[in-house]
Amino acid sequence: MIKIESIFKYFTEDRIDLLQNGLIRFSPPKEFNDPFETFPNFKSMAPHQDIDEFFESFDSEPGYYEGILEDCLANDPRFQQLPDPYKNLMAGIAERRLEAIRPEMSKQIKVFGSSAMKFQSKSKILMVETILKAFNLSFAILCLTEKRDNLLMWAHYANSHKGFVLEFFPNHSFFDQNDKPTIAGHLRKVRYTLERPKFIFFDDNLPKDHVTKNWVDNLIWVKSKHWAYEEEWRILSTLNRCEKTITNGENEIHLFTLPLDAIKSIYLGCRMNDERKNEFISLIGKQEALKHIKMFQAVPDEKEYKLQFLEIEV
């Protein structure tokens, strides 16, 4: 069970459609406003010793390269379409077992492969870019917060107080969708640090029950202390669970099903216009699936720089 009483999310006023269609946006990290999202200090794909041992042994069996080439020649339709002289030439190279180039080829593959997996020199940039691209094509994140009254977040994420905030039941099954300790489907608190954590993708030196924790603590749920005021929580999902995708210029908006009974309350911004406010009141009052939701109006406090929330009877 999640040990938090309430969890919130800020929206612009046009996202009233969320209450109508029950779809909420999860975003790939590349669409966030922080360039360090899911971008720790990548050290290597695995511990250096493991990488060295792999490249010392991976081609030790006789015929390793030859088998790869022979398989390509047998299954590549482009090779089968070549004129016989060219096919014979390529087959002849395979038959001679590549002995002439094997030593140098092995050396170059070991050097390049080891360097790439250790994220050394220019190969690090290419490897990291490839990994981040793959992550953004596979996963999306829903960001939430512990606070309903953060003035900066009202300004940044709720269109300068014209929008609204939803309060959710954090123990609803929507926030704990998997009974296994995977990285997806669980609401987790973001950790804030001064330095980017050092991250190794596949570390066999870690106990098995620490592998998921390593990803949670150092890849997805960690941000700079500059963002600590947001008191953020997150839930990760796979993009193949997306209910609807909308193309918006160069970006895609990924919408996921949100059970309406996961919503506890709604807080209208102190600058929301009356027309939009009445739309919310009418919607909550008429739809049976929304009648359990309490509604509040944010108003500036008379003495301090803070908001008060007055309940609206629907």
pLDDT digits (tens, 9 = 90+) for 118-165: 777 676 777 788 888 888 889 999 999 999 999 999 999 999 999 999
CA-based nearest residue to 276, from 169, 158, 151, 156: 158
- Res. 237 pLDDT band, cuts 50 70 90: very high
Average pLDDT of the residues in 274-302: 95
Residue type, 267: Y
Whether the per-residue pLDDT at 112 is higher than 60: the answer is yes
Predicted pLDDT at 14: 94
Predicted pLDDT at 72: 67
Span of 49-53, 102-106, 118-122 with lowest mean pLDDT: 102-106
Predicted pLDDT at 212: 77
Predicted pLDDT at 1: 46
Task: Report the distance separating Cα 96 and Cα 105, nearest Å.
Answer: 15
Higher-pLDDT residue of 7, 46: 7
Angle, in degrees to the nearest 10, between helices 102-117 and 123-136: 60
Domain residue ranges in the chain: 7-42+140-312, 46-118
Predicted pLDDT at 121: 67
Residue with tokens 């493991």: 50
266-279: pLDDT as tens digits? 999 999 999 999 99
Output the pTM of the full model. 0.79
Task: Report the distance separating Cα 306 and Cα 71, nearest Å.
Answer: 70
189-220: pLDDT as tens digits? 999 999 999 888 777 777 777 777 888 888 88
What's the angle, vertex CA 65, arms to CA 64 and CA 67, rounded to 5? 70
Residue type, 27: S
Whether the per-residue pLDDT at 174 is higher than 70: the answer is yes
Average pLDDT of the residues in 253-281: 96
Are 292 and 261 within 8 A, CB to CB?
yes
Predicted pLDDT at 86: 66
Task: Report the distance separating Cα 298 and Cα 290, nearest Å.
Answer: 20
Predicted pLDDT at 182: 80
Span of 16-25, 79-88, 90-99, 251-260 with lowest mean pLDDT: 90-99
Q: Tell how far CA 300 is from the center of its chain.
A: 35
Task: Please give the share of the chain, as a percent, with pLDDT higher than 70.
Answer: 85
Q: What are phi and psi of 234, to 5 degrees?
A: -140, 155
Average pLDDT of the residues in 40-44: 83
Task: Report the distance separating Cα 79 and Cα 54, nearest Å.
Answer: 31
Please give the mean pLDDT across all residues of the chain: 85
Whether the per-residue pLDDT at 296 is higher than 80: the answer is yes
